[in-house]
C-alpha cells in the first residue's frame, strides 16, 4: 500500500467502479457473484473481475474482493478454485471472515494479500496481532470501537499491519454485522449477504389474548427500535488519522452511482485537507447531505455508548435529486446527457464534476436525441443535449436542489 492513508470506495458494479475511480478513490472493494455480504449488488463475473482489475491498475488504484460471508460446507468447498481465479484476474487482496477461507486463500492464492473483515469483530490488539501473525496484512476494525481503543490497537500492533475503519454509510444494529433477525423473520440469511434489513422495520407489541390489538411500544419518539443512524465522519478525519487508521472505508456497494460519486468526491477532499493540515471547506461537509441518507451520527468513535438508534422512522432523505449524468462534453461545454429525474429549462441546477466545487447554474434550452428543442426532460434515461457552464468530463452529474422546488 502507498505510504499515505487510503480512501477506499465501494464498487457494486462496473458503473459504480468507473465513478469511484473518476472521483478519487485510492482503492475499491467489490465482489464476485458469490461470497460477498451484498448479494443484491450487481457484482462482477469472472470476466468482469479481470477487466475491473486492469482498469483499476491502469489508474494506480487497488482492488479488494470481498469473500466475507460466514461459510457453510458447500461454500468453503468452492473457494480454492475461486481464489485461484481472483489471483489470476489480478485482484490485490481478498477480504475474509472465516478462518477456513483465510487458510485456503493462503494456500491457493499466495499472491493475494488477506484482509480480515469487520465481521470478525476485532476489538483488541491481541486479536489484531494474532491475524497478522497468521499472515493477514490488514484488519478491518469492528465498528464498535472508540478512537481511543483504535489508538491503543495501533500502539500495540506491528507497524506493518494496516488498520481499516469505516467512515461513512449504513450501520447495523448487530455487533459487527452478526445478525439473525433476517433469517428468523424473512428466511433470508444475513450472513450470506441476503439481509432483508428487518432492523429498519416499524415494530409493535401484541398481547397474547388480544391478537388484533397492536400496541405502540412508546407513546412518542417512534417504534423503529432497531434502526441505526448512518455513519458520517467527514469532519473528523484528522482524529481518525491520529488514532492510526490506515484505510478510510466508505460503505455502500448496493447504493447508487451518484452516491459513490458524491461521497467519494467529498471524502477525497476531506482526506487531502487532513493530510495537508488545513481546515475542510464547508462545501465538502455539506456534500454528504446531498445524497440519500438516514440521520447521521459519528457512531461509536467518541464513546462506547454510541449515538443510539433513530426511532422515528427509517426513511432516507436528501437535499438534492439527480437530474442527469454527463456522457460526453466538448471544449465549449456542449454536453450529451442521460436523464435520471425530470427537470425543466429554467430550473436551478448544480453541476458536480470530478474534483471540482459544485457549481450552481440555470438550465438553458435543451435538445432531444433528434435535435428538437424541448423545455423538459420527462422520460427516464432519455438522451438530451444542453449547454453547461463549463467543461464537464464523463460521469459529471447535474442535480436539482430540493429547496429550489420550494422557492
Mean pLDDT of 214-227: 68
Query: Is the pLDDT higher at 255 or at 3?
Result: 255
Which pLDDT belongs to residue 222? Answer: 72
- Is residue 107 predicted with pLDDT exceeding 60? yes
Phi and psi based region of residue 400 (left: phi greater than 0; alpha: psi -120 to 50; beta: remaining): beta
Q: CATH number for the domain including 355?
A: 2.40.30.10
Residue 52 included in any domain: yes
- Is residue 340 predicted with pLDDT exceeding 50? yes
- Is residue 374 predicted with pLDDT exceeding 50? yes
CA distance 113 to 149: 25
Contact 280, 269 (CB under 8 A): yes
Residues 267 and 373 occupy one common structural domain: no
Residues 401 and 290 occupy one common structural domain: no
Query: Is the pLDDT higher at 225 or at 118?
Result: 118
Give per-residue pLDDT as tens, 22-68: 999 999 999 998 775 555 556 898 899 999 999 999 999 999 999 98
Sign of torsion over alpha carbons 380, 384, 390, 392: positive
Mean pLDDT of 164-191: 72
Residue 1 included in any domain: no
Comparing C-alpha atoms, which of 6, 10, 7, 48 is closest to residue 258? 10
Q: Which of 244, 266, 297 is the last residue of a domain?
A: 297
Residues 252 and 401 occupy one common structural domain: no
Rounded CA Rg of the chain: 22
Residues 148 and 263 occupy one common structural domain: yes
Residue 137 included in any domain: yes
Residues 149 and 38 occupy one common structural domain: yes
- Residue 367's beta-bridge partner residues? 373, 385
- Is residue 310 predicted with pLDDT exceeding 90? no
Residues 243 and 383 occupy one common structural domain: no
Query: Is the pLDDT higher at 194 or at 62?
Result: 62
In this prediction, residue 148 has a pLDDT band, given cuts at 50, 70 and 90, of: very high
- Is residue 396 predicted with pLDDT exceeding 90? yes
Give per-residue pLDDT as tens, 257-302: 999 999 999 999 999 999 999 999 999 999 999 999 989 999 999 9
Residues 293 and 327 occupy one common structural domain: no
Comparing C-alpha atoms, which of 168, 181, 293 is closest to residue 240? 168
- Give percent of the chain with pLDDT exceeding 90: 72
**CB neighbour class for 14 (10 Å; exposed up to 12, middle 13-18, buried from 19):** middle
Residue 86 included in any domain: yes
Comparing C-alpha atoms, which of 100, 1, 25 is closest to residue 262? 25
Residue 216 included in any domain: no
Residue 327 included in any domain: yes
Domain range holding 280?
6-174+227-297
Q: CATH number for the domain including 277?
A: 3.20.20.70
Q: Which residue has the cell 429525474?
A: 341
Which pLDDT belongs to residue 176? Answer: 60
Contacting residues for 149 by C-beta, under 8 A, at least 6 apart? 123, 124
Residues 257 and 165 occupy one common structural domain: yes
Residue 311 included in any domain: no
Q: Is 58 strand, coil or helix? A: helix
> Which ranges in 60-124 belong to alpha helices (H)?
73-89, 99-108
In this prediction, residue 190 has a pLDDT band, given cuts at 50, 70 and 90, of: low
Residues 68 and 126 occupy one common structural domain: yes
- Is residue 230 predicted with pLDDT exceeding 50? yes
In this prediction, residue 182 has a pLDDT band, given cuts at 50, 70 and 90, of: low
Query: Is the pLDDT higher at 11 or at 218?
Result: 11
Residues 132 and 60 occupy one common structural domain: yes
Residue 349 included in any domain: yes
The Cα angle at residue 313 between residues 312 and 314, in degrees rounded to 5? 145
**Number of structural domains found in the chain:** 2
Residues 251 and 355 occupy one common structural domain: no
Single pTM value for the model = 0.88
Q: If you average pLDDT over every residue of the chain, what do you get?
A: 89
Which pLDDT belongs to residue 398? Answer: 98
For the residues of 279-336, what is the DSSP string, one character each?
PPPHHHHHHGGGS-B--EE-TTTT-TT-S-B--S----B-SEEEEEEEEEE-TTSEEE
Residues 258 and 141 occupy one common structural domain: yes
Quickly count: other Cβ atoms within 10 Å of residue 183's Cβ. 17
Which of 123-132, 241-250, 312-321, 366-375 is predicted least confidently? 312-321
Question: How far are the Cα atoms of 47, 117, 353 from residue 85, in angstroms, in the given order?
Answer: 10, 20, 36
The Cα angle at residue 59 between residues 253 and 17, in degrees rounded to 5? 20
Question: How far are the Cα atoms of 176, 180, 220, 323 from residue 205, in angstroms, in the given order?
Answer: 27, 20, 15, 42
Amino acid at each position: 500500500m502507498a505510504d499515505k492513508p487510503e480512501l477506499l470506495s465501494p464498487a457494486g458494479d462496473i458503473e459504480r467502479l468507473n465513478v469511484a475511480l473518476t472521483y478519487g478513490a485510492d482503492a475499491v472493494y467489490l465482489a464476485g457473484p458469490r461470497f460477498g455480504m451484498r448479494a443484491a449488488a450487481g457484482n462482477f463475473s469472472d470476466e468482469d473481475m479481470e477487466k475491473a482489475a486492469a482498469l483499476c491498475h491502469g489508474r494506480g488504484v487497488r482492488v479488494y474482493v470481498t469473500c466475507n460471508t460466514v461459510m457453510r460446507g458447500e461454500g468453503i468447498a468452492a473457494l480454492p478454485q475461486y481464489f485461484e481465479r481472483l489471483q489470476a484476474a489480478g485482484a490485490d487482496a481478498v477480504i475474509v471472515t472465516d478462518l477456513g477461507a483465510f487458510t485456503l486463500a493462503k494456500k491457493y492464492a499466495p499472491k493475494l494479500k488477506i484482509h480480515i473483515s469487520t465481521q470478525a469483530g476485532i476489538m483488541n490488539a491481541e486479536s489484531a496481532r494474532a491475524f497478522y501473525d497468521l499472515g493477514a496484512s490488514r484488519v478491518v476494525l469492528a465498528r464498535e470501537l472508540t478512537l481511543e481503543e483504535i489508538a491503543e490497537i495501533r500502539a500495540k500492533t506491528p507497524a506493518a499491519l494496516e488498520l481499516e475503519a469505516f467512515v461513512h454509510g449504513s450501520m447495523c444494529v448487530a455487533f459487527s454485522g452478526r445478525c439473525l433477525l433476517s433469517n428468523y423473520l424473512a428466511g433470508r440469511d444475513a450472513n450470506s449477504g441476503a439481509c432483508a434489513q428487518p432492523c429498519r422495520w416499524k415494530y409493535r407489541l401484541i398481547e397474547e389474548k388480544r391478537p388484533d390489538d397492536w400496541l405502540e411500544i412508546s407513546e412518542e419518539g417512534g417504534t423503529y427500535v432497531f434502526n441505526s443512524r448512518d455513519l458520517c465522519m467527514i469532519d473528523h478525519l484528522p482524529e481518525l488519522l491520529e488514532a492510526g487508521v490506515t484505510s478510510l472505508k466508505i460503505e455502500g456497494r448496493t447504493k447508487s452511482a451518484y452516491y459513490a460519486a458524491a461521497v467519494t468526491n467529498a471524502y477525497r477532499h476531506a482526506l487531502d485537507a487532513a493530510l495537508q493540515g488545513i481546515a475542510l471547506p464547508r462545501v465538502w461537509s455539506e456534500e454528504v447531505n446531498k445524497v440519500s441518507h438516514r440521520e447521521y451520527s459519528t457512531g461509536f468513535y467518541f464513546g462506547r455508548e454510541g449515538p443510539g438508534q433513530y426511532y422515528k422512522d427509517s426513511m432516507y432523505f436528501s437535499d438534492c435529486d439527480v437530474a442527469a449524468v454527463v456522457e460526453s462534453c466538448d471544449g465549449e461545454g456542449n454536453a450529451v446527457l442521460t436523464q435520471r429525474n425530470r427537470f425543466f429549462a429554467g430550473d436551478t441546477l448544480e453541476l458536480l464534476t470530478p474534483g471540482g466545487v459544485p457549481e450552481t447554474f440555470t438550465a438553458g434550452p435543451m435538445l432531444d436525441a433528434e435535435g428538437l428543442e424541448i423545455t423538459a426532460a420527462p422520460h427516464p434515461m432519455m438522451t438530451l443535449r444542453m449547454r453547461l457552464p463549463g467543461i464537464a468530463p464523463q460521469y459529471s452529474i447535474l442535480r436539482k436542489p430540493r429547496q429550489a422546488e420550494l422557492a
